[in-house]
């Protein structure tokens, strides 16, 4: 499993709510592979920043920026500064948070 993270910092905080609404109805192009999960988050400390997390299952190909992620990044670039990164689960034993 790996994650594609696309973060945007907008000029104004009110832009984030509009972007989240638009992303909620975001439609991928036909024929494009779909992630297992497509989650949107708003930063609680930086009110003009949101991030999109695309969760991908392991494939025979190495993790890379996908067409879906690139599409989301291009959409977000219209609204602010974008950072597009890839994350891999570390698999560290006992790393889970216990309540």
Whether the per-residue pLDDT at 69 is higher than 80: the answer is yes
Residue-range domains of the chain with CATH: 2-88 (3.30.70.100)
> Does residue 4 contact residue 15 with C-beta atoms inside 8 Å?
no
- What are 17-60's pLDDT values in tens digits? 888 888 776 665 567 788 889 898 989 999 999 999 999 987 77
pLDDT of residue 57: 86
Residue 97 has what pLDDT?
Answer: 62
For residues 8 and 29, what is the distance between their CA atoms, to the nearest angstrom? 22
What's the mean per-residue pLDDT of the chain?
Answer: 85
Q: Which positions ≥6 away from 95 have C-beta within 8 Å?
A: none
Q: How many residues does the chain have?
A: 99
Write down the pTM of the prediction: 0.81
Mean pLDDT for the stretch of residues 65-93: 89
> Within the chain, where are the H helices?
14-24, 67-77
């Amino acid at each position: 499993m790996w994650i594609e993270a696309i973060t945007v910092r907008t000029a104004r905080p009110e832009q984030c709510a509009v972007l989240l609404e638009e992303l909620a109805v975001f439609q991928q192009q036909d024929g494009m592979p779909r992630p297992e999960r497509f989650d949107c988050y708003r930063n609680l400390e930086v009110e003009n920043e949101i991030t999109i997390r695309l969760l991908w299952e392991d494939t025979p190909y190495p993790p890379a920026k996908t067409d879906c992620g690139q599409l989301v990044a291009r959409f977000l670039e219209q609204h602010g500064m974008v950072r597009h990164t890839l994350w891999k689960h570390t698999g560290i034993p006992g790393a889970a948070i216990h309540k």
